[in-house]
Amino acid sequence: MRYPFPVGKSDFIQGDEAIARAAILAGCRFYAGYPITPASEIFEAMALYMPLVDGVSIQMEDELASMAAIIGASWAGAKAMTATSGPGFSLMQENLGYAIMTETPVVVVDVQRGGPSTGQPTLAAQGDIMQAIWGTHGDHSLIVLSPSTVQEAFDLTIRAFNLAEKYRTPVVLLTDAEIAHMRERVYIPTPGEVEIIDRKLPANEEEAKYPFGDIHGDGVPPMPIFGKGYRTYVTGLTHDERGRPKTVDAEVHEKLIRRIIEKLERNREDIISYDAFELDDAEVAIVSTGIVSRSAVRAVKILRERGVKAGLLKLNTIWPFDFDMIEELAERVRKIYVPEMNLGQLYHLVKEGANGKAEVELIAKIGGEVHTPMEIVERVVG
Amino acid sequence: MYLKSAYEIRDKYLRKDMLPTIFCPGCGIGSALQYTLRAIDDLKLNPDEIVWVSGIGCSSRVPGFVNFDGLHTTHGRALAFATGIKLANPNLKIIAFMGDGDAAAIGGNHFIHAIRRNLDVTVILINNFTYGMTGGQVAPTALKGLRGTTAPYGQFENPFDIADLAVSAGANYVARWSVFNYLQGINSIKKALQKEGFTLVEFLSPCPISFGRRNRMKTAPELLRWYQKITVPLAKAKKMPPEELEGKIVIGEFADRDRPGLVREYGAYKKRAKKMMGWEE
């Protein structure tokens, strides 16, 4: 396999470019998108690379179509991705819910920008955390990952594909404008260096008869992709194990939805990832995600120099959310600070996790700029 | 053409555990479905290589009843989903079974863009002038004056002529019949299935329950007689003055051409990319 970019060495590239390259290394061969700042560079890179690796890159008429097309491609057997920003992500929400309901592995990149609506199109924000987790309709679960460096944007993109395939679910890579447009040194591995996971296919006709049944006991049914002679019917309506619509049967609905949610819940340990920094003896903790974590690392260093026992918990997985871990943290520290580039979206999750065991304080900043380390330090030292 | 019995077609292609269908008495969707299955049967197409795609609404339930791979998607988006399926696996033949609201209202943008790209798909479009499943609201195809629950005093907007729209947007094959036009319907679907690029066969289809009742045509035969009255064959329409054609619907074959389909275009694009990058001679 020949790649249209250097592999097995480092390169100095933007976050968006890193996401595109990682997708191709992860096996993505279908990209559908619609241009939007600050995600367009992902599309532009995919447009350049995809034809060369015998993949498809297509500019759809809108974001609804982009999301639809990647789901279609996934059922035809391809690993598929789209990328957008907040307003486009809103347009994708119905079909994102459809992907959850039909257990379709796809990767959706949301490069956040200022909102609501068109808001601050060229400036950074972290205003889509709630949208990523709860934006679609009904009871559901999906996986949301969040990088804080360009290298992490690369690594988590590969991880996003692997988790999507492993658990037959959409995965949202939630990043922000700062990381998307920032250039950093990234190590691009050779294909042999990275673990690539492919979806479980039915072993035989019998397994293929239950495309939505828990036949292996792990909650993840093998996916009978189209064109293999299995004659699979896929619908967004409530369906039984064979995929037959059963829209007014409460029991069927409950069984289906609970399995879809539980297949992720029972694999929390595999899905949830975080980095702890100076947390062992910390008396105050900072919990953050994405670009803000980088200011938070510096803030912890400054606080330590000033004699404050501070530590940082950087969340790489935002959903499923580890409420238990936050409660354990809250039992050990006096106070938790949540700096984020919105008026309190991660804060709500952390506060719920802390469960009253420690005080939780929001350090909100909106308008397009990342917190400076000193802004965090000053709030902590009061 | 030798016509097999309807039972034979049913037993060969329908999922028995899904029957009966959800369709109301007098509905025309079953007829259009039967014509499509007869066309597939006559052409001896391999069902394992056909994927049925649909959006939301009565006609969109069809992929559930036929024993093929099928994707029943969100309202209006069937052709966007189909774009992904076809480009990811060009060996699959795609039949999109859609309604008029599905294709021309909520899915209007996907419809014209799928045609512009010449996506390789055969659209079987059920046009009953109404939103049947949601209870008879007015559709963008409803002729002026027709009633729906959201236009109780008669539609005041201009209708879309779907076939006309498809021809203008660049479809390779476009035909319109009423479900009354049995042989023309089957032959058109056969033609459509054999062509590359975007092909469309539109059927004027009775919906006595949601549409007919509100427009003084309570039964399917009444609706069929109305279709006979308002439809004009293309050859005849060409000789008629515009004022006589007002309120009429022209039926026939409107386009039959062979522009390269999206799959072929993308294949050539891939080759061009590799050549421009010096990967291939």
Write a three-state SS string for A190-211. Answer: CHHHCCCCCCCCCCCHHHHCCC
Over residues A331-380, the pLDDT tens digits come to 999 999 999 999 999 999 999 999 999 999 999 999 999 999 999 999 99
The answer to whether A163 touches A134, Cβ cutoff 8 Å, is: no
CATH code at A303?
3.40.50.920
Decide if A2 is inside a domain: no
* Residue A33 sits in the same domain as residue A182: yes
Structurally, chain A folds into a number of domains equal to: 3
Mean pLDDT of B164-179: 98
A12 touches chain B (CB under 8 A): no
Over residues A175-192, the pLDDT tens digits come to 999 999 999 999 999 999
* Residue A139 sits in the same domain as residue A65: yes
Mean pLDDT of B254-273: 98
Decide if B128 is inside a domain: yes
Structure tokens at A291: 């670009």
pTM comes to: 0.98
The whole-number pLDDT of residue A187 equals: 98
Sign of the alpha-carbon dihedral angle for A249, A255, A259, A265: positive
* Residue A80 sits in the same domain as residue A165: yes
Report which residue type is found at B102: D
Decide if B1 is inside a domain: no
Over residues A86-118, the pLDDT tens digits come to 999 999 999 999 999 999 999 999 999 999 999
* Residue A266 sits in the same domain as residue A319: no
> What span, in angstroms and rounded, lies between the C-alpha atoms of B16 and A158?
43
A1 touches chain B (CB under 8 A): no
- Answer yes or no: do A234 and B83 touch at CB < 8 A: no
A137 touches chain B (CB under 8 A): no
- For chain B, give the percent of residues with pLDDT over 70: 99
The whole-number pLDDT of residue B162 equals: 97
DSSP-assigned states of every residue in A119-141: SBTTS---TTHHHHHH-SSSS--
How far does A61 lie from chain B, in Å, by closest CA?
Answer: 7
> What span, in angstroms and rounded, lies between the C-alpha atoms of A140 and B86?
29
Decide if B163 is inside a domain: yes
Residues of chain A with Cβ-Cβ distance to B109 below 8 Å are 61-62, 65
* Residue B225: φ, ψ to 5°: -65, -35
Range of the domain at B162: 6-277
* Residue A163 sits in the same domain as residue A17: yes
CATH code at A77?
3.40.50.970
Q: Scan residues 90-119 of B and list those with Cβ closer than 8 Å to A.
A: 91-92, 109-110, 113
- Answer yes or no: do B83 and A76 touch at CB < 8 A: no
Angle at B161 between CA B63 and CA B22, to 5 degrees: 25
Structurally, chain B folds into a number of domains equal to: 1
- Answer yes or no: do A68 and B68 touch at CB < 8 A: no
- Answer yes or no: do B71 and A94 touch at CB < 8 A: no
* Residue A97 sits in the same domain as residue A222: no
Structure tokens at A192: 């042999």
Decide if A86 is inside a domain: yes
How far does B221 lie from chain A, in Å, by closest CA?
Answer: 31
List Cβ neighbours of A336 (8 Å cut-off, separation of 6 or more): A284, A285, A286, A287, A326, A329, A330, A350, A354, A358, A359, A360, A361
The answer to whether B236 touches B157, Cβ cutoff 8 Å, is: no
Q: How does DSSP classify residue A286? A: E
Of A271, A296, A319, the domain-final residue: A271
* Residue A181 sits in the same domain as residue A217: no
Over residues A144-186, the pLDDT tens digits come to 999 999 999 999 999 999 999 999 999 999 999 999 999 999 9
Q: Number of A:B CB contacts under 8 A? A: 141
Mutate to test the interface with B, among A104, A234, A246, A247 (most CBs of B within 10 A): A234
Structure tokens at A59: 């500019």
- Answer yes or no: do B88 and A51 touch at CB < 8 A: no
Over residues A232-269, the pLDDT tens digits come to 999 999 999 999 999 999 999 999 999 999 999 999 99
How far does A299 lie from chain B, in Å, by closest CA?
Answer: 46
* Residue A109 sits in the same domain as residue A149: yes
Mean pLDDT of B214-222: 95
- Write the burial class of residue B94 (CB in 10 Å: 0-12 exposed, 13-18 middle, 19+ buried): buried
Provide the mean pLDDT of chain A: 97
The whole-number pLDDT of residue B281 equals: 81
B1 — pLDDT class (breaks 50, 70, 90): low
Decide if A376 is inside a domain: yes
B102 — pLDDT class (breaks 50, 70, 90): very high
- Answer yes or no: do A61 and B109 touch at CB < 8 A: yes
B45 touches chain A (CB under 8 A): no
Measure CB to CB from residue A52 to each of B63, B77, B279 and give the nearest one.
B279
Range of the domain at A130: 9-188
Q: Looking at this predicted complex, what is its ipTM?
A: 0.97
CATH code at B211?
3.40.50.970
